[in-house]
Structure 1
Amino acid sequence: MRVPSNCQRNINLLTFDPDGDHVQCRHGSNSYECSTCTPPSVISLSSSCSLSFSPTNSSSDEGSYAVQLMMEDFPRQTITLTHDSGSIVSISTSSSMSRIPVQFVFKVDPAAPSCTAGEYLPRFLPPTPEHGAQFFIDINEMIEINIRAEATQSVITELLFSGPVNMVKNSSGSGNFTLRWTPSVSQNDDKESHPICFAVQATASSSVYQSELRCVIVRVGNIPFIATPSPPPITCK
């Protein structure tokens, strides 16, 4: 992920828990979670998993930074878990149940002539889905995500994306892209929630510019709701 040094950029990481647990982010803090664990000085992180970069006039801030985060889920009420061995453990709302690493490179580029989206920095246009949008499909049903962007002072060159391994990207002219994917039983896609993230990249002379990051969720199995914990404590086996 990259941003010109003179442009404000807010990055809302995709957080999703189908059980309705509360999701938070923090910087990695030990050798199991990060390497050289000092957080990047150029960005700030909120517990709600939003990253913020503020413009800087110092060229010394330009360069690449390793972002090493941990995403954790917390119960919305105290719950009781019973293991197969018969042991019982109580988990409060301040104790995380699981955690996953989120790691990427954040690059601060030289200043752009303009920070207005749609000029040098690509701007998304309809019918591009909004960040956090959810799609519900069945197994063996193809989903097609149409992405459109514009940049009047730079040339859009590519769509950067992450998603299921067999997702296919197509382009139908500058700034027009399509992502297609068909979930299958053989890939264990059924009853799973699959994140898809994307950004559009453009160039002007030797400079590279990226749009904002957007992520969507594809839920396979047509379950159009997010489960929430019931009021009383929950016992799981």
Structure 2
Amino acid sequence: MFLFVYLVLLLVSGAQTGFYGVVYTYSFLDLQESGYFVINNEKLSFSSCEEYDLFVCSGNCSGQPVFTIDESRGEWCQKEFLFALPNASLTTFYTPAVYSNWTENRNGIELSAAEVRIELRNRSDIHKPNSSPRTNILPLVRVPSNCQRNINLLVSDPDGDEVRCRYAAGLECHTCTPPSVLTVSPACTLSFSPTNSSAEGPYAVQLTVEDFPRQSIILTNGSNSQEVITTSNSLSKIPVQFVFRVDPAAPSCTEGVYLPRFLPPTPENGAQIYTDVNQTVQINIRAEATQAVITELLFSGPLNVAKSSSGSGNFTLTWTPSAIDAELSHTFCFVVQANSSSSVYQSDLRCIFVTTRSNPTTPIPLTTTTATLTPSFTTTPPPNTTRQQTTTTTTLSSTIPNSTPNPGPYYVLALNAKISTTLSLKNNTEAILQQMKDELIRQGLPSDIILKLINSVELEVTIT
């Protein structure tokens, strides 16, 4: 019960009127020497950093596990509250949360509320509890009223589950009126179409993000009671809340004129960067706006990211992951902002994944006759049988150790894979399995491995 009590004590109603949203995620880590751990990340945003401190820490956050992420002075400040829960109970926690009064908005939402569901029962497919979906967004996203804009919320799931987005409902919000100017798809795309000036202003956006297993699984609690969860049942749910502002019309919606346009070497939206514990990552971002002056880069990401500028339109995000980030994929989101007269213009929201590996590794792209593969393997002595998530689309990605492994049996662990092939899974199963086996053997696995297709998304590899 520790987790439930802790959150309720933290998330009490505040008297301030400048709430700008929340993004909550949790990650269940593998067994450590002191037991299992659940890492909880709660990004909260208010109209100022002082308001955050007053709400969360009664005005003084020194000595607390609170870290400033970024701020846009005069608009918002985002900080993250991070804590680890040791020796987690194998149960399900529902944590209704009341935060504070929303900043003024057009859809009439005053008090912010959310509901988190933390699923910590043991899963039959991965043999450990669930981790929530991972995503991120800035506290304030803005667009001129005459410009089309799609916000593709970049989501991932550590367990390979399907992630779906929807507007919050019921206990997930105090007032559940969605913004009239935005539509949300289950695939987590928010769409804005040009509108008239009467719709201009800020809107409170309250989303719920859920993960669904790709096949029926069994959840077992600490008392060995079991429940079957199907693909229609969500495992966990997290709140994603922010402010969407419709600004006055821009003279032009063409990127690079008033609205900043990203230029190389800026990573593309959805790009994947791999790093290792204690290895520094630099994300270089460049943008231009010929009729406006670029003023700043705004971002949201993990704690301890440093932001710097080397001239107008040139920015760098620098981050060094620690041991607590091992095996986690963090979502970095950023925009570039520009001014022209009294108007503020924001680029598209761009988000990327940065995944931290626990051991030094290097991804190696590979190709075969009919399938494009970029595999990754780990040579650790696990049980004799492991399962790998696969789909019959695009690429297969992971890592291969730099050092030469010791002689002996090798095993493939938790390989998330996507495979693109011209062959039919229904009619050419044996041929596809043979190509996959050949590729695994080429990567160093024994020649007597046995591959069995469990279903369209799960492959079993047995090493004799």
Tell me the TM-score normalized by structure 1: 0.92
Task: Tell me the residue number matched to 1:55.
Answer: 194
Alignment check: 8 A CA contact 2:158 2:328 kept:
no
1:201 to 337, 346, 350: 337
Kept in 2: contact 1:137–1:219 (CA 8 A) = yes
Per the TM alignment, residue 83 of structure 1 is displaced from its structure 2 partner at its CA by 2.1
1:44 aligns to 2:183 (yes or no): yes
Q: Within 5 A, what are the aligned runs for 1:70-219?
A: 70-185=208-323, 188-219=324-355
Query: Paired residue for 1:67?
Result: 205
SS of equivalent residue, structure 1 residue 165: coil
Q: Which has the larger radius of gyration?
A: 2
What is the number of equivalent residue pairs in this alignment? Answer: 229
Deviation, structure 1 residue 48 = 0.4
Instruction: Render the CA deviation track for 1:162-191: whole Å, top value 9, x for unaligned.
Output: 112200011011110000000112xx1112
Paired residues of 1:140 and 1:183 also in contact (CA < 8 A):
yes
Determine which of 133, 138, 155 is the counterpart of 1:15.
155
Q: In the aligned structure 1, how far is the partner of 2:454 from the partner of 2:317?
A: 40
- Percentage identity across aligned positions? 65
Counterparts of 1:174 and 1:231 in 2: how far apart (Å)?
54
Instruction: Check conservation: 1:9, 1:52, Cα contact below 8 A.
Output: yes
Q: Which residue is 1:24 aligned to? A: 164
User: Secondary structure in 1 aligned to 2:270?
Assistant: coil
CA drift of 1:17 comes to 1.0
Give every structure 1 segment of 4 or more consecutive aligned residues whose post-TM-superposition deviation is greater than 6 Å: none
Please provide the CA RMSD for this pair.
1.7
Secondary structure at the aligned position of 1:60 is classed as: helix
C-alpha offsets along residues 57-76 of structure 1, whole Å, 9 cap, x if unaligned?
Answer: x2210010000000101011
Shift of 1:84: 2.4
Matched residues in 2 for 1:18 and 1:191: separation?
9
Counterpart secondary structure, 2:170: coil
Look up the equivalent residue of 2:158 and give its one-letter code.
Answer: P
Instruction: Confirm or deny: 8 A CA contact 1:80 1:88 kept in the other structure.
Output: yes
Separation in 2, partners of 1:95, 1:231: 21
Q: Distance in 2 between matches of 1:220 and 1:178?
A: 19
The code of the aligned residue for 2:327 comes to K
**Which whole-Å CA distance do the structure 2 matches of 1:38 and 1:6 have between them?**
23
Deviation at 1:99, TM superposition (A): 0.9
1:231 is paired with a residue whose SS is strand
Scaled by the length of structure 2, what TM-score is found?
Answer: 0.48
2:219·2:228 contact (CA, 8 Å) conserved in 1? Answer: yes
**Matches of 1:194 and 1:3 in 2, distance apart?**
26
Structure 2 residues not aligned, in runs of 5+: 1-140, 362-375, 377-396, 399-414, 418-452, 459-464
Instruction: State the alpha-carbon separation in 2 of the partners of residues 133 and 109 from structure 1.
Output: 29
Whether the aligned pair in 1 keeps the contact of 2:299 and 2:332 (CA below 8 Å) is: yes
Match of 1:231 in 2: 454
CA distance in 1, matches of 2:159, 2:356: 15
1:231 Cα offset (Å): 3.2
Amino acid paired to 1:231: I
State whether residues 18 and 227 of structure 1, in contact with CA within 8 Å, keep that contact through their aligned partners in structure 2: no
Separation of aligned partners in 2, 1:8 and 1:101:
26
